[in-house]
Chain A
Amino acid sequence: MTPTGAASGAMPVRSEPDIVLARQLVRRLTQELKFSLVDQTKMITAASELSRNTLVYGGGGDMEWAVVHAGVRTGLRLAFVDQGPGIPDMELAMKDGWTSGSGMGMGLSGSKRLVNDFEIESAPGRGTRVTITRWK
């Protein structure tokens, strides 16, 4: 699948099995980057939450990944991109326990706590892009 050693790539998130594949890809990448087990688990869990959002709320999209560097630090950046309806009320969407669907409402706010950097861009009708980075 992903060529070991590549610095970036993307995979579709268009069905439920893709969520599992996204988790497996992130596990492989974080292992290659020699993340600690806890850091691997956090990044995989965040990827699981966000890829499910992409599928369920965004109607499917892609997960882009890139190995990033800042000075001596190495990290993994993931972007979850969809062309769905977008998020009308960002403040509300980021609240713990709030959900527009059938989830627990921990996806966005919870994922943010699992990573070092978290960015979200969305506008009604223009899709959503959530970018997360975890540094080693």
Chain B
Amino acid sequence: MTTRIPILRMGRTLLVTIQVDLQDQTALALQDDLANRIQDTGATGVLIDISALEIVDSFIGRMLAGISSIAKVLGATSVVVGMQPAVAITLVELGLSLHGVRTALNVERGMALLREADAALDGDADADAGDEGIDGSFGAALREAGR
């Protein structure tokens, strides 16, 4: 019965775009699914696009913080991107600081952040070559999603 949010894999990065009005169970399921996918794929990065989210309340905030902690424990870097200004203003007033959650203004900056983290993890030139691929296919995925 629970709606599940699709998780896409692009190279070593998992991509999540939240496009639905999140029910609590859906948010919890996403946390579980992401943990499993990180383990299955050995992903080193998780990018969560919340640009379509009209609100982030304490429950969703807790989910985002949870994903960030879980990813960290599993050796992956996560970043939340695309928060709308009105959502950011409300979140701060609500009193949520999203401790430990990395954020970036948009997908591009988020991907750059993950690339840096990945390169630091590898510490070799391989990371650069691999990441070109991630970028390219992710661009295609975005165009796809934009349709």
Q: Which residues of A contact B (CB under 8 A)?
A: 16-17, 19-20, 23-24, 27, 37-38, 40-42, 44-45, 48-49, 52, 96, 103-104, 106-107, 109-111, 113-114
Q: Does A104 lie within 8 Å of B86, measured CB to CB? A: no
The B interface, classified by DSSP as helix, strand, loop or mixed, is helix
A58 to B89: give the CA distance in the assembly, Å: 29
Q: Are B93 and A113 in contact (CB under 8 A)?
A: yes
Q: Is the interface of A mostly helix, strand, loop or mixed?
A: helix
Task: Give bound CA distance, A89 to B95, whole Å.
Answer: 21
B105 within 8 Å of A by Cβ? no
B141 at the A interface (CB under 8 A) = no
Surface stretch bound by A, among B10-18, B56-64, B119-127, B130-138: B56-64
Q: Is B117 in the interface zone, CB < 8 Å from A?
A: no
**Is B142 in the interface zone, CB < 8 Å from A?**
no
Report whether B23 and A16 are in contact in the complex, using a CB–CB cutoff of 8 Å: yes
B89: chain A residues within 8 A (beta carbon)? 38, 41-42
Which chain B residues numbered 61 to 107 have a C-beta less than 8 Å away from chain A? 61-62, 84-87, 89-90, 93-96
Which residues of B sit under 8 angstroms from A114, Cβ to Cβ? Answer: 90, 93-94
| 25 pairs from A and B in contact (CB 8 Å cutoff) | A17-B23, A19-B24, A23-B21, A38-B85, A41-B90, A42-B93, A44-B55, A45-B57, A45-B90, A48-B59, A49-B57, A49-B94, A96-B95, A103-B58, A104-B58, A106-B58, A106-B95, A106-B96, A107-B58, A109-B95, A110-B93, A110-B95, A111-B94, A113-B95, A114-B93
B86 close to A38 (CB less than 8 A): yes
Complex: A49 Cα to B24 Cα, angstroms: 11
In the assembly, what is the distance between CA of A42 and CA of B62, in Å? 18
Closest to A21 in B: B21
Q: Does B108 contact A (CB under 8 A)?
A: no
Q: Measured between C-beta atoms, what is the minimum distance from B120 to chain A in Å?
A: 31
**Are B61 and A27 touching (Cβ within 8 A)?**
no
Question: Smallest CB–CB gap between A122 and chain B, Å?
Answer: 20
